Chain A
């Protein structure tokens, strides 16, 4: 068979059911066997869309997303999704075409050194120079992408290799993958587990600091058991929304720059942070030297390089979160002669006081403009509990994370570490492809929407009925907020216009239903109408209050002690 046939067969062997891509010269040989393959191919309108769709698919299903692009600009167009997936540890396998091996290095048409370009933003990449390597490299690529700390990988496939003949085989053991330097960890060190359980037993103000690694490890169930067993409060980072139900009495919400006041403050005042699959990101810690100054730290992460990268832990455990939590629970069983935790009643009294004083808050004036937070609340209340929510990057993303109630794992898809505007539309399409049984709502900003909206053409033609809510404040809202707060209201290049483009007409031109909501009275009916449509994508243009800012807020570089709440709450607290 040809290399191209071997590639497609290898993807089938890996259980790939869908791939997102766009053909071109160097990848042409691979597109021929796609016609006869069981794998569904979704033809995107821009390769960035293919990458984000694969990410949305991966984040909603837990399975690796697959994208396929041609050489040169096709490959560079997927660089942003690779960087995004690398930051958020999302398993992705990208296949790129490459010019023929004899032309590599000659500046041939559509040549680009994509393995060089993506070296720093992939977990690993391969340039295949021998057709016989194809099955082995594909198997190795999926193994690397999905094990240990997951991440994106890229396979660069020159055109002459695709066309060459080979004898089919399929690797049946890890030894055949030729990865002598790759040994991902799973179990934590029992001695360190014992130390961690000891620290937990002594803590008076512990907090479970839960990151995306809990979702990657499929450890949400184990976390629930640990939380119930210990009664320790839980914060879920932006990457971990859904890992612990927001309705649970121990859930304090999201920590960080725009986190819930109680989540931020509980961490700050804690005497023990139990970090599970989180990485002490600057958006969580604020000024690192002032972060949780009295806290000891137990840090569990599958990537040993995370332990001590930002904050030196008292107990650092390299291991898979699900395994390590299981080991902790066993160690607690073994020490059953003494309490697992101290009496946390006074800690909870303090936490409840914070919750009471500083809940999420926005001012909703009768007869005023549509409040974006209110749109999120109404979307949430009208949607099934297992709806997959997808966001772009900016104010709308923070409001979505704050005001949605996440009850299940893999119901929140967003761009965390990289902060990639334009993520939502294609990621929502990928999520819906992976979970066709679920309602998928993208909550997007008008700035983000304009970056990747063309993929709604893909959604229409492939009959992928996603729902897009644009919180249209006619601004690059988060930048506007910073200019208002930190640049003396000198607004530089942030105004976009509410009417240009006409979102309803644009949606209709792309085969979607377009709906506009201009006043608070329009919001409910617009959502109802959107929810009733299940045979095509729908876009709702919510004209929201441009002056609305995201609160609470910790200014960049500030201590989390200096968290700023909504001015009204501050006034109320002062009284």
Chain B
């Protein structure tokens, strides 16, 4: 039993069901360096809706010590529009400084999920065990609930989320993925 997504999960809403695109679905990762100014996220999000481009997930945070710039990592559905068109339109935003394009094969991608699960005496140890197998952590313990955390590749998060569906999930929050290019080994 999975509870309905909490209305307080905005990123969940942006990313649809929050899952990774299914195999075969064409998606790309854009790593967008923006000026850290008021309204920048609205400009980026507004552009996507205005031009009919679809976003799977979106993560944003400051990226330098001075806080002048932020990096927005956007997973784009490239079936809704050609990737070049998405990049070119994004690049026209004055606050967008640079855009890195990462194909899933060339990127390291990570995502984090927080899940609160209702647990009785038997489920408690099962969930703790599952979290251990996946290398996650129990981050909060209540009388009849646990909140657990897992960070990893988005597919791993999908699997974890899938297995948790057998339990009473109260709330689930994924961050959306962040990504950087894979390094050259040579």
Contacts and interface: CB of A to CB of B under 8 A. Distances in A.
B85 A305 contact: yes
A127 interface: yes
Interface residues of A, number: 18
Of A115, A119, A180, chain B has the most CB atoms within 10 Å of the CB of A180
B42 A181 contact: no
B15 to A, nearest CB: 23
B7 interface: no
A309 B46 CA distance: 18
A303 B91 CA distance: 10
Contacts of A304: 88, 91
A540 to B, nearest CB: 41
A144 B95 CA distance: 12
B46 A120 contact: yes
A181 B32 CA distance: 11
Nearest to A125: B39
Nearest to A179: B94
B172 interface: no
A405 B38 CA distance: 49
Contact of A123 (B42, B91, B94): B94
Q: Interface size for chain B: under 10, 10 to 19, 20 to 34, or 35 or more residues?
A: 20 to 34
A566 interface: no
Given A181-B97, A308-B82, A127 B38 contact: yes
B79 to A, nearest CB: 17
A119 B43 CA distance: 7
Given A120-B46, A127-B38, A181-B35, A305 B88 contact: yes
Nearest to A124: B94
Contact of B85 (A123, A127, A309): A309
A179 B42 CA distance: 18
A564 B42 CA distance: 45
Interface in B1-47: 34-35, 38-39, 42-43, 46-47
A486 interface: no
Contacts of B82: 308
A182 B39 contact: no
Contacts, number: 42
A213 B98 CA distance: 26
A116 B94 CA distance: 15
A307 B38 CA distance: 30
Interface string A23-56: 0000000000000000000000000000000000
B31 to A, nearest CB: 14
Nearest to B88: A305
Contact of B84 (A116, A127, A308): A308
Given A181-B97, A304-B91, A116 B42 contact: yes
Contacts of A179: 94
B97 A180 contact: yes
B117 interface: no
A303 B39 contact: no
Contacts of B63: none
A303 B94 CA distance: 13
B96 interface: yes
A127 B38 CA distance: 9
A119 B93 CA distance: 10
A531 B35 CA distance: 54
Contacts of B85: 305, 308-309
B125 interface: no
Nearest to A149: B92
30 contacts: A115-B39, A116-B42, A119-B39, A119-B43, A119-B46, A120-B47, A123-B94, A124-B93, A124-B95, A127-B38, A144-B94, A179-B94, A180-B35, A180-B97, A181-B34, A181-B35, A181-B95, A181-B96, A181-B97, A182-B94, A303-B92, A304-B88, A304-B91, A305-B85, A305-B89, A305-B91, A305-B92, A307-B88, A308-B84, A309-B85
Interface of A: 115-116, 119-120, 123-124, 127, 144, 179-182, 303-305, 307-309
